[in-house]
């Protein structure tokens, strides 16, 4: 997508943290230069990207001379800085609810989804590589806590009690989502918002990753919501930028309700 807005987005697949500003940009109709970073190849820790974001985390966005990091903050910036449909409600109560859900997602659900994802996808995806090469790549990671996470993922050493707590939190979060989406069409208000973008990028694969907890029978409101977001033109355009099997998992939402 060629940018006339002076925006460059540095991202991985169109899900989780990378997907949040990507989808916000598409929903606002903001053209941007897409700079794909292969997380599994440690592109985010190479010198050219560290010159942009020394923390070595993705996504990051540049707008002119401004460098923005942290996916939720980038979404809010995109909504405020560019014309297009408003993604933060004008009503104070609805705006509070949007921010409540984004904080819940970021601080409660996202770490648990991340631990499960790193255990079942990221770690196995790189485990067969040369151990010495992997260790050199890990040593280049600027943030010590990310080095710990990578070593746990590669070795499969996430403690069982941590995995159990992540699963408990996911189950609780699914219940909260189902209840809220039974009260209104969208997650935080009667209009599509940043809360929906944030939530979709975490929850899009629930019927694949948590089939016993999220399906058309148990969570019809979640499934309706996920399918409605997936059907949006901006979502289709966003996910077309995916390059791995992870991006293809979203097609589970093409299935009809059972």
Check residue 25 and give its pLDDT.
98
CA–CA dist 105, 225 (Å, integer)? 16
| pLDDT over threshold 70, residue 123 | no
CA–CA dist 155, 243 (Å, integer)? 25
Check residue 147 and give its pLDDT.
87
Q: What is the pTM of this model?
A: 0.91
90 SS3 class: coil
pLDDT band at 135 (very low <50, low <70, confident <90, very high): confident
pLDDT tens digits, one per residue of 197-221:
999 999 999 998 899 999 999 999 9
CA 220 to chain centre: 22
Say if CB 203 and CB 226 are below 8 A apart: yes
| pLDDT over threshold 60, residue 2 | no
3 SS3 class: coil
Name the residue with higher pLDDT: 79 or 41.
Answer: 79
Q: Domains of the chain by range and CATH?
A: 92-233 (1.20.1050.10)
pLDDT tens digits, one per residue of 238-252:
999 999 888 888 999
- Edge-first strand order for the sheet with 60-63 is 33-36, 7-11, 60-63, 66-69
* Strand 33-36 to 7-11 pairing: parallel
pLDDT band at 116 (very low <50, low <70, confident <90, very high): confident
| 69, two tokens | 């990091």
Q: Compute, in degrees rounded to 10, the torsion defined by CA atoms 102, 254, 120, 14.
A: -50
The conformation of residue 257, written as its DSSP 8-state character, comes to: P
Check residue 4 and give its pLDDT.
65
The CA R_g of the chain, rounded to the nearest whole Å, is: 18
Name the residue with higher pLDDT: 1 or 97.
Answer: 97
pLDDT band at 127 (very low <50, low <70, confident <90, very high): confident
Share of the chain above pLDDT 70, in %: 97
Selection from 27, 166, 30, 215 nearest residue 9 by Cα: 30
């Amino acid at each position: 997508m060629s940018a006339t807005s002076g925006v460059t987005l540095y991202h991985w697949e169109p899900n989780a943290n990378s997907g949040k500003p990507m989808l916000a940009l598409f929903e606002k109709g903001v053209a941007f230069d897409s700079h794909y970073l292969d997380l599994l190849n440690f592109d985010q820790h190479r010198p050219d990207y560290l010159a942009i974001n020394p923390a070595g985390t993705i996504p990051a966005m540049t707008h002119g001379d401004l460098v923005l990091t942290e996916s939720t903050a980038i979404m809010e910036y995109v909504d405020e800085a560019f014309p297009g449909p408003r993604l933060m409600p004008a009503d104070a109560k609805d705006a509070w609810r949007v921010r409540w859900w984004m904080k819940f997602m970021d601080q409660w659900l996202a770490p648990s989804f991340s631990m499960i994802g790193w255990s079942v996808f990221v770690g196995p995806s790189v485990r067969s590589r040369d151990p010495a090469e992997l260790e050199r790549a890990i040593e280049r990671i600027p943030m010590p806590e990310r080095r710990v996470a990578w070593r746990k993922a590669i070795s499969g050493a996430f403690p069982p009690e941590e995995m159990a707590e992540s699963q408990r939190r996911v189950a609780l979060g699914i219940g909260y989502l189902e209840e809220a989406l039974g009260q209104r069409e969208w997650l935080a208000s009667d209009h599509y918002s940043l809360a929906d973008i944030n939530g979709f990028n975490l929850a899009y694969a629930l019927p694949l990753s948590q089939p016993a907890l999220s399906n058309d029978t148990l969570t019809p409101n979640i499934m309706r919501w996920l399918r409605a977001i997936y059907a949006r033109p901006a979502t289709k355009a966003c996910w077309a930028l995916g390059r791995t099997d992870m991006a293809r998992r979203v097609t589970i939402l093409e299935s009809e309700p059972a």
